[in-house]
Amino acid sequence: MADLAWFPMYPNDFLVSTATMTPVQGWAYTQLLMYAWTNGGIPDDHAACAALTRCLLTEADWAVIRSRFTPMGSPMATLSHPRMERERVKAREKHNTASESGKRGAEARWGSRNGVANGNANGVANADAMAITTTTTTTDIQPPIAPPSKGGSRLRREKFNKRNDPNWVPF
């Protein structure tokens, strides 16, 4: 079940749906949602869920949280979250679509044409040369200072000369 390492989170929906929960209930519910995403469900057991969330869940806390999950109908006593399962289907479809697109792109770039390889995936393509862009970064702390204008004041010229003098220290 852990084939998708991420799950969609809709903060507005989550905040509205947990607005009436206590902080302990909200935390435990969040932990159980993450556990359900990773493992395909949660155990239908108060003590097991309390251990998973590392919270002291009262019977009332468990009742509030348990009401958000539904039985999965499997031989094991497992609960699922209906909205999460709908989101899982959408996420898996999105993942599969992206994976297929990537495979088609790789085949187009690195696959063979007329029986001749188009390149080496670990080297340089045999096709047209690709443009290479380089970026340079300056690490100079002080921004460049424009030289004083001809009509500038003597003070400004002195300040400019001091800042460009490598022996001058500002403090």
In the predicted model, what is the mean pLDDT of the chain? 80
What is the pTM assigned to this prediction? 0.60
Question: Domain spans of the chain?
Answer: 11-85
C-alpha R_g of the chain: 31
Residue 89 CA to residue 151 CA, distance in Å, equals: 72
- Summarised one tens digit per residue, pLDDT across range 6-61 is 888 999 999 999 999 999 999 999 999 999 999 989 999 999 999 999 999 999 99
